[in-house]
Amino acid sequence: TLSIIDTAGNLQLTQEAIEAFVAKNPKLVSRVVFSRAPAPELPAKLKAQQAANRVDIDLCLGGIGVTSDGVEQGLWLPLFPAHAASLPKPEDIYHPAALNMYNTVCQGHGMEVVYTPSGPVLEYAPERVKNPPKTAQELLDWTRQNKNRFLYARPANSGPGWTFMMGIPYVLKDSDPKDPINGWAKTWEYLKELGKNIEYYPGNTSATMKEFGEGARDIVVSTCGWDINPRALGIVPKSAAITTLAGFHWVADAQFMCIPKGVPNDKVAVLLQLISYMLQ
């Protein structure tokens, strides 16, 4: 039995592939137990399990935050070079931009399963928003005139929220978009002003899409994947349109498959086969 935890909404994209592997390999896997958790909670949970020598999570599906936290805190089993023979070479299979993200974030402690140029984009209802904002100032003005009709999820647990927060320094031409502590003076001020017109920050992106689809919000923050998938599922109407703000700069995003340290060797062997299968 494999226990797989998702902290990134990743199963929406990968669950069918995981179940296909299980169906093809009944001698290796009897069943998979899927669970979900907010990304910020997982490192502490894993650390406690590893300290007690009782790791009950076999594979983590996570975004940039939880993956890099795990690398920094030594939570993941290094896959390269130790298990290189069982896995495809990253440089052979990844798009150059995806490879760059893999090398920056994962550093051999897992494999990248999702890559997207991401965003940030604004998704809006054209029947309710006749002239969508084209600049950061226009967005701020629009939210002042239409209180609580704009929404994004908490960046710590939302790809679109994270991408929006990291894209705004480029839009505002802040002093150093890559330094949130010393280079985001305009950004923090802007987000504070914007926040006065936002009712609350949901815990995940799905909630923003649901409220948008139901007509409770008129503009939400989105990304490439989140623009496509809820449309395909019928959560968001096909009439929804997207736009970007002047000064737009792509902020890429990725999701990874990582094996926690402490997983038994027999399970690791099966997980390596699963990971290789996923990357076909």
SS3 6: strand
Q: Are strands 121-124 and 219-222 parallel, antiparallel or unpaired?
A: antiparallel
Residue-by-residue pLDDT tens, the chain, 280 positions: 999 999 988 998 999 999 999 999 999 999 999 999 999 999 999 999 999 999 999 999 999 999 999 999 999 999 999 999 999 999 999 999 999 999 999 999 999 999 999 999 999 999 999 999 999 999 999 999 999 999 999 998 898 999 999 999 999 999 999 999 999 999 999 999 999 999 999 999 999 999 999 999 999 999 999 999 899 999 999 999 999 999 999 999 999 999 999 999 999 999 999 999 999 9
Task: Write down the residue that tokens 């936290």 correspond to.
Answer: 69
Task: Write down the residue that tokens 């997982």 correspond to.
Answer: 42
Instruction: Take residue 142 and report the two structure tokens written for it.
Output: 């629009």
Q: What is the pTM of this model?
A: 0.88
Confidence (pLDDT) at 156: 87
The span from the CA of 149 to the CA of 147, in Å, is 6
